[in-house]
Amino acid sequence: MVFHPQLKDMKNYERRRIDTEVIHCEAKKHKASTPQQMIHLNNFIKTNNDKTSMLQTNTATFICYHSSFNGCNHLIQLCKKYMPDSNIMSKVKLHRAQCANIVRNVLAPYFDGDLISDMGDRKFSLVLDEFNDIYINKSLGIVFIYYSDTQKKVVHTYLSMVSLETCDADGIVNGLKIELAKKKLDIKKLLTIRTDNARVMIGVNNVSSLLQFRCVYHSLQLAVSHTCAECLLINLEFLVSETYKWFSYSSTRQSACKHLYLAINDKEPLKIVSSCTTRWLPKNQL
């Protein structure tokens, strides 16, 4: 024989079960043993003091400026090994992932806000350059130029690096507009832009008062290349490039060249530089 419980029987059972639990929780024996078994969240959540947080933040800033995040693990271990008596250093737990998160989520928003507040409502200029990184991702580097109230001078500083879907004119302009809107910068206050001589980077639109400065080094490189092609020997550029390749991969040839140069000139030989498509001329030699 099988008994099937009715709905009212199930409700009565549940009500009696709840009443029993309430009575048990209110019993003196239960209340006396409960505090010994309770686990408070305060035992798990630990907050660093101000000095520890400041040390971690400054260390992350130093790592960001001068080295890669991978060196953070060894740097902290080295400091703890030779500063065991430091109470602050003993509480520091800074590794590569945490260091990167501090730079990304703490330092970057702070310096962005400090930069925008320092500029105020003044006009500004931008230096733009499109490039491919080691993973062949297309990006746009942006340098920010403005007059700083705190430093009382014109400041050139890094603004951001924008990932581009396409490297045509529309893709670069759209990426720049989105980044300026994200930084809360009015494009109408853009005074000048400085770019290379690539066609996708040249043009004035939407801001009629915008001044454009093309890269002097690229212009000089084009002028020098055109002049050399007409006035010098056709194989001169080939000779320069192949001379570097001939000596750069052979220590024996470099040693023989050095001894021959010392025998002829009685001084250390000059460094053989490589030839490239864009000949960057030093600014102080222009």
Whether 199 and 243 map to the same domain: the answer is no
> Domain of 90?
50-112
Q: Tens digit of pLDDT for each residue in 20-33?
A: 666 666 666 666 66
Q: What is the pLDDT of residue 42?
A: 56
**pLDDT attached to residue 254:** 87
* Residue 2 in domain: no
In a domain? residue 106: yes
CATH number at residue 176: 3.30.420
Residue where a domain stops, chosen among 112, 128, 160: 112
Residue 230, in any domain of the structure: yes
**How would you list the strands of the sheet with 190-195, edge to edge?**
153-163, 138-148, 124-132, 190-195, 211-214
Report the domain count for the chain: 3
**Concatenated DSSP letters of 200-258:** GG----S-TT-EEEE-HHHHHHHHHHHHHHHHS-TTHHHHHHHHHHHHHT-HHHHHHHH
- 134 and 148 together in one domain: yes
Domain assignment present for residue 233? The answer is yes
pLDDT < 50 stretches in the chain: 2, 279-286
* Predicted local confidence at residue 4, as pLDDT: 58
CA–CA dist 269, 253 (Å, integer): 13
Is residue 235 assigned to a domain? yes
The DSSP result for 69-120, as a single string, is TTHHHHHHHHHHHH-TT-HHHHH----HHHHHHHIIIIIHHHHHHHHHHHHT
Q: Would the pTM of this model clear 0.75, i.e. be above it? A: no
pLDDT at 284: 44
Q: Is residue 179 part of a domain?
A: yes
- Domain contains 20: no
Note the pLDDT of residue 209. 74
